[in-house]
A and B are shown apart, each in its own frame.
Chain A
Amino acid sequence: MDWTIWLEWVLKGFILCLVLLTGFAYLTWYERRALARIQVRVGPNRAGPQGLLQPIADAVKLIFKEELTPGRVYKVVFVLAPVLTVVPSLILAAVIPLGSSFTLFGREILLHISNINVGVLYIMSIASIAVYGIVLAGWSSNNKYAMLGGIRSSAQMISYELSLGLCFAIAIVMGNSMNLIDIVNAQRGMWFAVIQPVGALVFMIVTLAEVNRAPFDMPEAEQELTAGYHAEYSGMKFALFFMAEYQKMIVICMIAATLFFGGYREFWFLKDTFFSVDRFWFLGPIYLLLKVIVLLFFMIWIRATWPRIRYDRLMAFGWKVLLPLSLVTVFITAAGILLAQELNNQLYIWSIPVLSIFSAMVAVALVYRDLRRKSHGRF
């Protein structure tokens, strides 16, 4: 094999890791500033202009903090658990296409690390591996609070993984491929979020639960569990959990953008204009970055406005609302595509959004009725 290919791979992987790490640092700044603005505060604004050096100050502080290992922990697993949490969040991004390609020194450089034909399944499997870090952190701390937090959050992640898989299935069916590049290219004419808005919405809700963000941030329920699975961690090890959470937020927004919001492509109505990715390759990463920033803002906005859901309601919501709803949307999507194919009329595709929005409204009405009945009855 040519050594330049190796060089290209190593460089691309290195750059992606660097981008994610910087993204993590500045996501903390972004979240704190946005939260402050929503809560009519100022937020960090002392270190550097607009507080832009705050993440660096935080990093320096965390590195120099004392790191203590409690006496009766299971040492090996205790050290391994933060690593097992961070690594999946980094390698998850390997299959996501960041753009099309450009030519440098006479070589065509593709803007993705690997192009495998089971890209969606790769994301699925790495996401399922990510549960281990949390379970093991909870167990190895040898602390009841930490263990309960670990068990709770892993139960939550496993439960919501089912709906996540079904949302992936929606994108696979509509893109007619498991390859993420094919899925992005299939959205050249129309974003999947427009054809299947309910699928995109369920995906966003489920990913909130997968990355343990508010209002599903059960493992970090300070009031009940002191801090959850990372109660015994301090210093840089704690920072690694923090890092994994924020990197997963970024990556999951990249995945959501890729699967439902056209990936690195432009808006569908800018298809053949000056702003198309086909014309300028460098627009691809910029478009993706803008989409990720908007999606991240939604995550922060939800954290600022919604209270934490009670644990039993969280599980009931996952199993009794999201799972049936996503099953129905998969069925509607497949049926609509088949209908359009068999009758040879692309207009039948629009039965998908109509029917799925109707089923989502039915689900909302049922939840509303159930909640009303519960609040009127005995507790």
Chain B
Amino acid sequence: MTSELIVFLVLSLVAVSSALGMLFSRNAVYSALFLVLNFVTVAVFYLLLGAPFIAMSQITVYAGAIMVLFLFVIMLLGAESLAPAKTLPWQRPLAILLAVILAVESIYLVFARARSDAFVAAPDVAVNSMDNLREMAMILFNQFLLPFEVTSVLLLVAMVGAIVLTKQVKGEQR
């Protein structure tokens, strides 16, 4: 337990500091890199919880695919360090309000969870005992089949939308 606790504490330090670094970097590329570091740390958290599949897909999807596209866009637009744009007047109070709500909620949840003796509530042991990949597939394709399919249709619609937006009309000259 103690070694796990030490690993958890070190990792959470890395996670929090990389999140802060993401927020406070002046350069958008550095922000993106801090975010990648944060994603990888979160993936290690999943590994600690005994969920290797989710950890690996976290790295593949978020760190590997999405953030590369982010970097891409930042570089192509040359948006590494833009001048600060004018802020909307109502944005800041709203953001502060939402942040306070989020903080209160998470503090409540942490204390509600901390009452149980496990430091980090582990998921169902039976699921993790031997092959959580198979178990997850069974759950995903039986119990949650409809949300799964709806999500994939949503992604497909988004993709078609992106293609339609960038498509040139026939006959139109460049």
Contact = CB atoms under 8 A, between A and B. Distances in A.
Interface of A: 74, 77, 116-118, 121-122, 124-129, 131-132, 135-136, 138-139, 147, 150-151, 154-155, 158, 161, 178
A12 to B, nearest CB: 20
A178 B133 contact: yes
Given A132-B36, A139-B75, A178-B133, A117 B60 contact: no
A95 to B, nearest CB: 11
Interface in B33-70: 33, 36, 52-53, 56-57, 59-60, 63-65, 68-69
Contacts of B65: 128, 158, 161
Nearest to A80: B33
15 contacts: A77-B29, A77-B30, A116-B52, A117-B132, A117-B133, A118-B52, A125-B60, A128-B60, A129-B63, A132-B71, A135-B68, A135-B71, A139-B29, A139-B75, A154-B68
A125 B68 contact: no
Interface of B: 29-30, 33, 36, 52-53, 56-57, 59-60, 63-65, 68-69, 71-72, 75-76, 131-133
A158 B63 CA distance: 12
B68 A132 contact: yes
Given A125-B60, A128-B59, A129-B59, A117 B68 contact: no
Given A121-B57, A128-B64, A161-B64, 4 more contacts: A121-B56, A129-B63, A135-B71, A139-B71
B60 A124 contact: yes
Contacts of A150: 75
Nearest to A147: B75
A364 B57 CA distance: 33
B22 to A, nearest CB: 15
Given A139-B29, A139-B75, A122 B56 contact: yes
A340 to B, nearest CB: 20
A117 B71 CA distance: 31
A126 B33 CA distance: 16
Contacts of A126: 59
A129 B64 contact: yes
Contacts of A129: 59, 63-64
Nearest to A150: B75
Contacts of A132: 36, 68, 71
A253 B89 CA distance: 58
A117 B128 CA distance: 12
Nearest to B130: A117
A212 to B, nearest CB: 15
Nearest to B63: A129
A128 B56 CA distance: 11
A241 to B, nearest CB: 18
Contacts of B133: 117-118, 178
A117 B59 contact: no
Nearest to B58: A125
A151 B76 contact: yes
Given A116-B52, A117-B133, A125-B59, A131 B75 contact: no
A222 B29 CA distance: 27
Contacts of A154: 68, 72
A131 B68 contact: yes
